[in-house]
Amino acid sequence: MDSSIVPAAALTVTSLVNNLVSSVKNARELSKQSSDSELKEQIADIYDAIVDVKARVLDLDTENRSLREQLAQKASVKHDPNTKGFYKEGEIDPLCPKCFQSPTHDVVYLRDEGDQSGYCVVCRTAHSYLHRRV
């Protein structure tokens, strides 16, 4: 196998789009030497469209990274059936169940209010809980 050929799957979507942008940019530069004005216009339109696609791809890549981080964070949080609380793995401080069960699975520690109750400063909700025994 030729080692100079990078499998497409190994390239990030960002580098694929960057390669595409530079190919079309080269084609646009070459077309400037042509007397075919329709060809020049078509290539310029393709270049503009690809630049728009690149911006969208970068947005989606950022969003995808953020969602992966949220998933990883969610995976490290466990529900304790004894205390009915949510805890990060290996920790005893309870998380806000309301924030964690929201669609974005926010990890927010409860402020200890004594008497086995905690207050979430994000959703401004008081919760009762039992400290987990580790």
Return residues touching Zn ion (CB under 5 A).
96, 98-99, 120, 122-123
Is 29 or 113 the residue whose CB approaches Zn ion more closely? 113
CA–CA distance, 127 with 119 (Å, rounded to integer): 6
Smallest gap from residue 106 Cβ to Zn ion (A): 7
| Structure letter (DSSP) for residue 57 | H
Q: What amino acid is encoded at 100 in this protein? A: F
CA–CA distance, 70 with 18 (Å, rounded to integer): 27
Which whole-number Å values give the CA distances from 20 to 13, 24, 50, in the listed order?
11, 6, 8
Query: Angle formed by the axes of helices 13-31 and 37-75, to 10°?
Result: 170
Is 24 or 96 the residue whose CB approaches Zn ion more closely? 96
Indicate the Cα dihedral angle 100, 101, 103, 108, nearest 10°.
-10
Is 98 or 132 the residue whose CB approaches Zn ion more closely? 98
Smallest gap from residue 96 Cβ to Zn ion (A): 3
Smallest gap from residue 90 Cβ to Zn ion (A): 21
Smallest gap from residue 75 Cβ to Zn ion (A): 20
Is 12 or 101 the residue whose CB approaches Zn ion more closely? 101
